[in-house]
Amino acid sequence: MEARHAVIAPDVAFARESANPMDRRLVFCAWFLATIQVLEGRGETFDLIREFCLGVTVEYVRPKSAWRRWLKGLPGMLLRAPVVGLFTGLLRRKVGRKGHADGFLVQIVTEPGVAFGFDIMECGIVKLFRKHGAERYVAILCEVDELTSSMAGLTLRREGTIALGAARCDFRFGIRGR
C-alpha cells in the first residue's frame, strides 16, 4: 500500500499548502485510493472494498474518549451559535476560489431551514480517482460524508453527487434533533 501511495502522493502534494482548505481532504483520500487499488489488484470485489473502506472510516472517526466525542459534536454546537454567519463569510472567501486546478471549487449556500449548506462545483476527489483509473470507487467516499456528518451531530441531505453523475455535490446540513 505504501508503494502505491508513493505513486499517488505527488498528485496531491499541493493540498497541504493550498489556499482552499477543502483541498486538504485529498491527502487522506490518497491513502483511500491506494488502499482501494491494492485491494482491487488482489481481485477483491467492489462490495468488499466498499465494506472495508466504510469500516476503516467508522474506526478512524469514532471518538475514542469523552473529549473526542465532545469535539466530534462541536460542528453541530457551533451551527447553533450566533457567530456562524461570520464563519460562513470567512469560509465562503476561502473555498470559493480554486487553490489548484486539481482541487475543489465550492459555493457556500444559504437556504431557509438549512443550518449550513454548500455545493461542490468541482470535486478534487473525483479528479484524483479519475486520473488513477478508479472513478467507479468515488461514490464510496460520498458515503463517508454521511457517516462523518452523523457523528458530528448533523443530518445531511443531498440530491446528488458529481461521483454519481450530478452537475454538483449539494450538501445541506441540519442539526440532529431539530
Q: What is the pLDDT of residues 124-173, one digit of tens each?
A: 999 999 999 999 999 999 998 888 888 787 889 999 999 999 999 999 98
- As given in the structure block, the three cell numbers for residue 133 are 483509473
* CA-angle at 168, arms to 130 and 23, nearest 5°: 60
Reported residue count of the chain is: 178
Average of pLDDT values for 29-51? Answer: 97
| 176 backbone dihedrals φ, ψ, rounded to 5° | -55, 135
User: What's the pLDDT score for residue 77?
Assistant: 67
Q: Return the CATH number at 78.
A: 3.30.1380
Domain span including residue 110: 2-175
Closest to 94 (Cα-Cα) out of 21, 6, 4: 21
What confidence category does residue 177 fall into, taking pLDDT thresholds of 50, 70 and 90?
low
- pTM of this structure: 0.86
User: What's the pLDDT score for residue 57?
Assistant: 86
Closest to 117 (Cα-Cα) out of 176, 170, 177: 170
Number of structural domains in the chain: 1
User: What's the pLDDT score for residue 66?
Assistant: 83
How far apart CA 128 and CA 138 sit, in angstroms, is: 9
